[in-house]
Each structure stands twice: as C-alpha cells, then as structure tokens.
C-alpha cells in the first residue's frame, strides 16, 4: 500500500457509472419487476452498496476507508440499465475505488439475476465520472 500518513484527512467524493446492455424483452421484465429471481434493481443496488463497503477486501492494495455515504442507482434506459454510484468519506486517500466497485458489482448482480433469460447481455462503460476532495464538497 502507498503510505498516506503525511496526507491530511479531507472530505472526498467520487462518482462512477456503468451500463449493462440487454435484450428488449429482458429489459421489459426488469422494468415490470417480473424476473423470476425477484426485484432485480433493488438487489443490484444493495449488492453495490455492500461491495463498496468491502472494497479493501477485494482490491489487494486498496486502503480500507470509513465510508460516510454510499449511494447506488440502477435506472432502466433504452437499451439496458444505467448504473451510478457515489461514495463519500473523510480520509487521507480517495474513494474512487469504492464507487467503481459498487458499479461493477451492481452490474454483475444484474447479469446474474437476468442470465436465465438473456445470454446476450454486455457489461461495459464502467468509468470514474468525477472525483472531488476538500471541505467545499
């Protein structure tokens, strides 16, 4: 791990986004909450939040951070589901890995819950949308 001992603890915020493309009939099942495994969007949201809290356990050299907030939104769009996660902490290092992990695991959860009806889904476009630090956030 990188030594961050000399860095000041400041408020840090990061937002990540991703997308899972799926067939129109799969998306209709997701929108109608009619997937056999249950409420796909809510389960993916909870999975993303849980993953953000476990980021340091998943990414070998990632610092464990005291998250003060994590939000995950899974929104049906025209060709799939848009995923956005925001993570916030007061720490000596950034919180972008937690936001990226939340998006990734939410997407994987959507894939898992829909794979029985759609073998063509594609997870992609996972990116860090913004990263901020300082008391002005």
Catalytic site residues?
112
Partners of 11 in the beta sheet?
A: 90
Give the pair of three-digit tokens for residue 112. 């898992």
Burial call 102-111: b when 16+ CB within 10 Å, e when fewer: bbbbbbbbbb
Nearest alpha carbon to residue 63 among 101, 87, 85, 91: 91
DSSP 64-80: P--EEEEEEEEEE-SSE
């Amino acid at each position: 791990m990188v030594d961050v001992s000399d860095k000041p603890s400041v408020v840090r915020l990061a937002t990540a986004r991703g997308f899972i493309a799926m067939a129109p009939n799969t998306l209709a099942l997701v929108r109608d909450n009619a997937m056999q495994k249950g409420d796909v969007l809510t389960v993916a949201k909870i999975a993303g939040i849980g993953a953000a809290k476990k980021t340091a356990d998943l990414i070998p050299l990632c610092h464990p951070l005291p998250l003060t907030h994590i939000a995950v939104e899974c929104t049906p769009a025209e060709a799939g589901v848009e995923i956005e996660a925001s993570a916030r902490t007061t720490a000596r290092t950034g919180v972008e890995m937690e936001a990226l992990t939340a998006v990734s695991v939410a997407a994987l959860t959507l894939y898992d819950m829909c794979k029985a009806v759609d073998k063509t889904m594609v997870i992609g476009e996972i990116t860090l949308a913004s990263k901020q630090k300082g008391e002005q956030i």
